[in-house]
Amino acid sequence: MKITMSNTNNFSLRSVLDKDKLNGANFLDWYRNLRIVLTQERKLYVLEQPIPEAPPANAPQADRDAHKKHQDDALDVSCLMLTTMNSELQKQHEFMTAYDMVGHLHQLYQGQARHEKFEISKRLGFPLGQELATDLILQSLPESYSQFVMNYNMNEIDKPLPELLSMLRTAELNARPPG
């Protein structure tokens, strides 16, 4: 069997994703690596665009072929994503398309992204105060966190950002329906 240079590159880049399975705490690094792999494979578009409606049967062959390619690429990416997640995340996402998976993961881990931005601003010499950073995080949460925010404010909880992030993760897990 002859191995082409393209196959060798795909294998070596994909191995980056195998190193650290997505477990939640490493979402930003995992997502960055996923985007690198998919860019190289020219499949990044499936994370950015949902699969369009199927063209009518009388549509030009090129339109039908493009739709089929998008479906096939989305399936490949979905499988790749699932194989690089821990089993808990696999169970949550196994019936989603790649596009829907990445949207859901962004929702789950948006607090992590905010925390990383605060850390970067601190390293650059523009630190946000603890109170301002907490207020920004709490104000940016979706409506589904309104009870959490109200409890946090009413009880005058004052936690460092990593602890606030942990509390938000717990609130997210508790809000999920069983199953």
Query: Mind listing the pLDDT tens digit of every residue in the chain (179 residues)?
Result: 444 444 544 456 777 777 888 887 788 889 889 999 999 999 999 999 999 999 999 999 999 999 999 999 999 999 999 999 999 999 999 999 999 999 888 877 766 655 666 666 666 666 667 777 788 788 878 877 888 888 887 777 778 878 888 888 888 777 666 65
**How is the chain split into domains, by residue range?**
5-108, 127-175
Look at residue 5 in the predicted model and tell me its pLDDT.
46
How far apart (Å, rounded) are the C-alpha atoms in residues 12 and 36?
12
pLDDT value at position 99?
93
